[in-house]
Amino acid sequence: MDSHTALNNRSKLVVDISNDSTEQPTMSDLPYNPVFGIICSSSYDRVTRSSERLEAYFDVLKSDYPEVEKLCEHYHKLTAQIEMDKLSAVISSPVVHHSRLNNHFNQQRQQLMTYFTESLADIENQKSKTDVINKDVNWTAVELMKDWFDKNEHRPFPKKKDIKQISMLGNITVKDIKTWFMFERIRRHSASME
């Protein structure tokens, strides 16, 4: 069917609809529109529902985590690119390939949404872990260890009696003290190398 015939068919349908004829147009009366095939598939419905859930997740986290705004913008750019690529591919390919192309690009969007959902969960979990860690920190012990380290920077390896004293005063285990000193030596050595 050429474009002139398709235009005539559309105008007949408009006339028929406007005259309240009892005969309603069917899908077979309309010229094929590849976009209609894209939005009327079950994979597109799944992608749309997943996208709505992700958007809601973005909205919930935006107020608490400023980095989520940039993540959301990046997600929208990538999604728009996938949709443009899908539309371009469907329009330029034979009808027999539309379903396969549609599924391919919907799968790309689904993978993108999974990635961003996991990223948001990581941001949320990292913040909650930081809150828990900061609540559990024995700041008295940290100050005692920092003071000892600063005074003995030339040889930052506490003796057993020093460890025992810090342990008693700071209410911290010997293992935690040794671990803290090990990491503090690494931190300060790395800082001095920069």
Q: Which residues fall within 8 angstroms of residue 110, CB to CB, at 6 or more apart?
A: 46, 47, 50
- Long-range CB pairs of 56-65 (<8 Å, 24+ gap) are 57/117, 57/120, 58/120, 61/120, 61/123, 61/124, 64/127, 65/123, 65/124, 65/127
Alpha-helical runs (H) found in the chain: 3-18, 34-39, 42-62, 67-91, 98-136, 139-151, 160-170, 174-193
Residue 163 to residue 123: CA distance in whole angstroms: 36
Residue 122 to residue 120: CA distance in whole angstroms: 5
* 178 and 164 Cβ atoms separated by less than 8 Å: no
C-alpha distances (whole Å) from 178 to each of 98, 113, 159, 172, 192 are 63, 43, 10, 11, 21
C-alpha distances (whole Å) from 12 to each of 4, 6, 81, 93, 190 are 12, 10, 37, 28, 78
Q: What pLDDT is recorded for position 63? A: 84
Q: What pLDDT is recorded for position 194? A: 67
Per-residue pLDDT of the chain (194 residues; tens, 9 = 90+): 444 444 344 444 343 444 444 555 444 454 555 555 555 566 677 888 888 888 988 888 888 888 889 989 999 999 999 989 988 998 898 888 888 888 898 899 999 999 988 988 888 887 665 555 555 678 889 999 999 999 998 999 999 999 999 999 988 899 999 999 998 988 888 887 76
List the structure tokens of 166: 């810090």
Q: What pLDDT is recorded for position 75? A: 92
Q: What pLDDT is recorded for position 1? A: 46
Residue 52 to residue 60: CA distance in whole angstroms: 12
